[in-house]
Structure 1
C-alpha cells in the first residue's frame, strides 16, 4: 500500500490468514511454510518508472521496497523488474507482490515509518504511474513465500460495462478452474479486487505460480486453457498481463 503526504494511495482492508480446516493460523518460520491450504490477502502494486531514470534511483526503489519484507507484520514481499509485459494499453516496468495475515498487520505496514519513507523518498519521485489491486485468496494451496526463481503470471481483468454478477462469477469460475490444468507444482491465486481506488477499473485479479518460466510458457500454450479463456472473452473489456520472476536476495535490483 502506498502513501503520499500522509494519505493512502491505496486502501486495502485484508482478511485473516487461517487454515481452511481449523480456521486458525499458527505462526511458523517462513521456511517451514512449504505447502499449505490457506486463506490470505494478496497485495500487488505495478509501477511505471519514467524513461531514462537514473539506474541508481531505480535500484534504490527496488532495494527499499524489498527491505520492507523485514517488517514483522509482512508475511511475504518481493519487488523487482517485470520480466515480460503483455498488455497493449498500459505500461509497467516493476512489480511488488506481498501477502499479509490480518487487517491490523496490513494497516500497521501501511503506516509504518519505514514504508512511508521508502514510498516518499524512492517511489513517488521516479514513477509516472502506479496501479494496485488487493483480493482475498481462499483455499490457496502452495508456498506462502514463492521461492527464488519461480515464475508468476499476473492478470488483471476489466469487465465490460453492464455485466451482472452471473457474468462476473463465470469469469472468476473459469480462472479458478485453470488450477486443474496448469500442471504439477503450479497453482493459482485469484479473486475479486476490493480496493478500486488505484485499480483503473480492473475488478478481477489472479496470479499463476510456476516452478520456472518454462513451466509458465508450457501452461499458457495448453489448448484446453486457451479454450476455457475463450468462453468468457466476450465479457472482457481489458487485460493487464505481466510475467515476473522472483529474484534472489542478491539480484533484485535493476
Structure 2
C-alpha cells in the first residue's frame, strides 16, 4: 500500500482481467428491490456526488441518516439501475485530501432522461433538502455516459476506485476519453466506466470521470505497481492536470443485510 504523502501517480487504472460470467450489478428496479444483470444498461449514465459531512453531523448520527435517506431512494425512484450511498474508504490523492470528501453517492441510469427524472423526483428532493443540505459542508457532482466497451458490474462488497480529472490546457476532453479507451483496450478487458462530464455546474472544473470496480479491497490494493497498469497510466498522464482519486466499498442493495467489507 502506498502512503498518501508519497502519492505521485495521477490516474489509477485497474488490473485488467476478463470478467467472470457470474458477475452481476445489483439493481433496485422497484419497491420489490429486484436484482438484474448490469448488461441491462449497456452504456450507463453515471452520477457521482461527493459530500463533505459536517463534523457535528458525523458525531450526532445525522450523517448516517443522510446516507440512509439516499440509499432508500433505490426503492422509491423509478429508472434507477443502481445506487450506493456510503462513507469514503480512502482519499488517494492530494486533490481528494484537499476536498475532504467523507461520503459519496454513486448511481446509474439507462438514459439521461432517467437521471433527470431521478433529480426531480419528490423522494430525491426530500432527501436532499431534509438530509443532504443541512449536513454537508461541500458538494461536488459529476455525470458521464460510459464510453468503455464493456460493463462494469458492481455487487455488494465491491471495492471501487473513483478518479476525476481535469485535462491540461489545450487538450480536448474527447482526446482524454479516447486515450483512456485505447490504453485499457491495449492492456486487456477491464471492469471500468469512464467518460466526459456533461454536468459542469457542480463539478468544480472536473471534466472526466472514471470508476474501476474490483471484487474486494485486497484485489484493488494488488494493482499498485502492476506492469500493465503502469503502462496504461503512463500513456494517459501527459494529458492530465489536476486529478482526484478516492476509494469506497459498495454496500448492499436496499432491504439487504450489510456485507462486512474487508479493510
Name the counterpart of 2:118. 109
Structure 2 residue 102 is the aligned partner of structure 1 residue 93: yes
Find the aligned partners of 1:211 and 1:171 in 2 and give their Cα distance: 27
Contact 2:192 2:210 in 1 (8 A): yes
Name the counterpart of 2:9. none
Find the aligned partners of 1:65 and 1:217 in 2 and give their Cα distance: 28
Question: Given the superposition, is the C-alpha separation of residues 179 and 232 from structure 1 closer, same or farther in structure 2, using an over 3 Å criterion?
Answer: closer
Task: Name stretches of at least 5 consecutive residues in structure 1 with no aligned partner.
Answer: 1-26
Structure 2 residue 74 is the aligned partner of structure 1 residue 65: no
Q: Secondary structure at the match of 1:123?
A: helix
Cα drift, residue 112 of structure 1: 1.2
Structure 2 residue 129 is the aligned partner of structure 1 residue 129: no
Contact 1:178 1:225 in 2 (8 A): no
Cα drift, residue 170 of structure 1: 4.4
Q: Secondary structure at the match of 1:153?
A: strand
Q: How does 1:79-228 map to 2 (within 5 A)?
A: 79-88=85-94, 89-142=98-151, 144=153, 146-161=154-169, 163-165=170-172, 168-180=173-185, 186-228=190-232
Contact 2:41 2:110 in 1 (8 A): no
Between the two proteins, the alignment pairs up a number of residues equal to: 221
Find the aligned partners of 2:168 and 2:137 in 1 and give their Cα distance: 26
Cα drift, residue 169 of structure 1: 4.2
Find the aligned partners of 1:188 and 1:181 in 2 and give their Cα distance: 14
Give CA-to-partner distance per residue, 1:159-207, whole Å, 9 cap, x none.
223x133xx44432342245458887x5110000111111111111100
Contact 1:37 1:139 in 2 (8 A): no
Question: Given the superposition, is the C-alpha separation of residues 181 and 220 from structure 1 closer, same or farther in structure 2, using an over 3 Å criterion?
Answer: farther
- Give the structure-1-normalised TM-score: 0.77
Find the aligned partners of 1:86 and 1:106 in 2 and give their Cα distance: 28
Question: Given the superposition, is the C-alpha separation of residues 203 and 50 from structure 1 closer, same or farther in structure 2, using an over 3 Å criterion?
Answer: same
Q: Secondary structure at the match of 2:134?
A: coil
Further displaced range: 238-247 or 216-225 = 216-225
- Give the structure-2-normalised TM-score: 0.75
Structure 2 residue 241 is the aligned partner of structure 1 residue 237: yes
Cα drift, residue 84 of structure 1: 0.8
Q: Secondary structure at the match of 1:125?
A: helix
| Cα RMSD, aligned residues only | 2.6
Question: Given the superposition, is the C-alpha separation of residues 76 and 37 from structure 1 closer, same or farther in structure 2, using an over 3 Å criterion?
Answer: closer
Structure holding more strand per residue: 1
Give CA-to-partner distance per residue, 1:99-153, whole Å, 9 cap, x none.
1123332222111111111100111111111111100114553465x11011111
Task: Name stretches of at least 5 consecutive residues in structure 2 with no aligned partner.
Answer: 1-28
Question: Given the superposition, is the C-alpha separation of residues 34 and 73 from structure 1 closer, same or farther in structure 2, using an over 3 Å criterion?
Answer: closer
Name the counterpart of 2:8. none
